[in-house]
Amino acid sequence: MLIYKLIPMLMAKYPDKDLTIDELSVFFFNYYPRLKPEEIDAFQSIFMQAAKAEVSEAQASDVLRTIEERAKAVEIAQHALDVSEGRKEFTSLHTIMEARASPREQLGETDFISDELSELKNETVTKAGLRWRLHSLNRSLGSLRLGDFGFVFARPETGKTTFLASEVTFFAGQVTQPILWFNNEEQGNKVKLRCFQAALGVPLEKLFSDVESCQVEYDRLTGRRIKIYDSGTIFRSEAEEIIKAGNPSLIIFDQIDKIRGFDADRNDLVMGSIYQWARQLAKTYAPVIGICQSDGTGEGTKWLTMSNVADAKTAKQAEADWILGIGRIHNEEFANVRHFNISKNKLMGDADTESSWRHARFDVLIEPEIARYRDLGD
């Protein structure tokens, strides 16, 4: 630790010089002149071993960066302690953190958005993202692409998980990377069975009567790329580790409001933090779809609007690029009809997306026996 402490000091003193182990050794023993004989022998042995070690430039760079970051962290921690005990002002802590932040060495053209109109058109409209099974959603929302975050909300037992199964199994045939589905709501095995039903478009009786051939067909259609992580309690850090390791093509949170690891004074602010985090995941890794509830005002309501979103004032709605409300009315004649309202839509769409449908309201059919939704008229 004594050696690590001196390395940043020596680098700061000679910023333009490539320092050697011998120079570090001289600096060390001059800085600590009162070491005991046995301590001197121990540190001399360390310096001799370090001088003989063969380390690549990349490895050395990583080690030095880590040492420098740890030294900065110690300095900031000490400064924070001084603030907490009244020896320094709080504003000075912000100043030192800014001063110790690592600046970018050099900015290049890749750090900025392109000025080429053809490239912008290709990335935002021409190049298809994830296309929906429902033509009405392609007509209104269009493809989901990197950076897109939206959520679906409805009252309980309206068909939110069936909606996911219907669409995600269609997405799976369009990608090569896994689709990560974080499930903290319904039993995971039941959700996976719905995916089998939705992919093949068959009821459970058919699945269980011909397991072998249904398995082969499911694998062909989805490539086993739908990975459902099932846990009653899912923490932010846990999800981040799985996402980072999984390199997904799409991320699903059902239910997103139940993700743990966020703190705030009010529940709506906690929700806002969760949705800000989901937006950042969408920009970094893959499109994100969240599922949440409608509050009691949405019960029996045909067209759900942003004001019907549960546990939110504006924090949830502000972070989303698109919001889909699924309404259901209490009428036996319309038991399998669901009423879709696109209450927010900032997506770019595709060539076949219609501007008049950006905030459309339309009816679709739910087929719970095969875990699918379909457009009216199909």
Condensed to tens digits (0 to 9), the pLDDT of residues 296-353 reads 999 999 999 999 999 877 889 999 999 999 999 999 999 999 999 999 999 999 989 9
Ranges in the chain, pLDDT < 70:
1-2, 4-6, 8-19, 52-68, 71, 90-111, 378
The pLDDT value recorded for residue 144 is 97
Place of tokens 């609007």: 305
From residue 289, how far is each of 10, 75, 122, 249, 251 by CA, in Å? Answer: 50, 41, 23, 12, 6
Q: pLDDT at position 57, please?
A: 56
DSSP type of residue 132: P
SS3 content of the chain, % helix, strand, coil (to 5): 50, 15, 35
Structure pTM?
0.71
Q: Give the pLDDT score at 252.
A: 98
Phi and psi dihedrals of 190, rounded to 5? -65, -40
Whole-Å CA distances, 201 to 66, 207, 376: 53, 10, 17
Q: And the tokens for 153?
A: 């909300």
Domain annotation for the chain: domains and CATH numbers? 2-100 (no CATH), 128-375 (3.40.50.300)
* Predicted local confidence at residue 114, as pLDDT: 79
Confidence at residue 11, expressed as pLDDT on a 0 to 100 scale: 66
In this structure, the number of other CB atoms found within 10 A of the CB of residue 122 comes to: 12
Distance CA 240, CA 288 (A): 13
Complete edge-to-edge strand list for the sheet that includes strand 372-375: 226-230, 179-183, 250-254, 288-293, 149-154, 322-327, 337-345, 361-367, 372-375
**What confidence score (pLDDT) does residue 370 get?**
98
Longest Cα separation, the chain: 93
Contact 249, 177 (CB under 8 A): yes
